[in-house]
Amino acid sequence: MPIFYDGIPSPLGPLWFVSSDGLSSGERAGLAWIKWGIDETTLQQEITCQSGCHLNPTRDPGRLREWRYRISDYFSGRKIDFDGPIVPLVGTPFQQQVWRQMRTIPYGRVCSYAEVAQLLGSPGAARAVGAACGKNPIPIVVPCHRVIRQDGTLGGYSGGVHIKKVLLRIEGIEI
């Protein structure tokens, strides 16, 4: 399975998009990962390690153009709905269910871990929702930064709480 990637500078440092789609003409690239704060060589090593792919990942700006534009617009403060296809290559069925549910949280709004669990029909699974947030391979597009504790505090974030605050501020949310 070929793996493609591209990147942009961002307020979070270098931001990389990774796709594994075998696209036909006119299709949109499905996103498998977003990574930030690492250099290109480290990204290539992580792709190879995490995907189990023994092929060298290929940088392909054309394939990921739409994602670059959308993320750039997002960091510019534009309200963006990330409705493009995602194709996570990792995650349990429950984690993937959580990630799909998080994509329904509107821009500029937050939801608690417990509320996400309730929406999934698993009201006692708030901690499992938090764990799934921590394993999210496609942050920003799968907006785990919009999930907070029930008491209104931030909770954790795999990129660090300071990054969660940056992302929420972009969306006009101060917590």
State the SS3 of 72-123. HHHHCCCCCCCCCCECCCCCCHHHHHHHHHHCCCCCCCCEEHHHHHHHCCCC
pLDDT of residue 24: 44
DSSP summary character for residue 152: S
pLDDT of residue 49: 82
Note the pLDDT tens digit of each residue in 142-170: 999 999 999 999 999 988 999 999 999 99
Note the pLDDT tens digit of each residue in 24-76: 445 667 899 999 989 999 999 888 887 766 667 889 988 899 999 999 999 99
Note the pLDDT tens digit of each residue in 68-87: 999 999 999 999 989 889 98
Helix axes 93-102, 126-134, angle to 10 degrees: 90
Coil, helix or strand at residue 37: coil
pLDDT of residue 30: 87
Sign of CA dihedral 66, 71, 76, 79: positive
| Number of other residues whose CB lies within 10 A of the CB of residue 38 | 16
| Number of other residues whose CB lies within 10 A of the CB of residue 111 | 19
Q: pLDDT exceeding 70 applies to what percent of the chain?
A: 92
pLDDT of residue 29: 79
Please list the active-site residues.
144
Q: Which H or E element spans position 5?
A: strand 4-8
pLDDT of residue 70: 93
The reported pTM is: 0.90
Contact between 117 and 126 under an 8 Å Cβ cutoff? The reply is: yes
Coil, helix or strand at residue 63: coil
Note the pLDDT tens digit of each residue in 73-123: 999 999 998 988 998 888 999 999 999 999 999 999 999 999 999 999 999
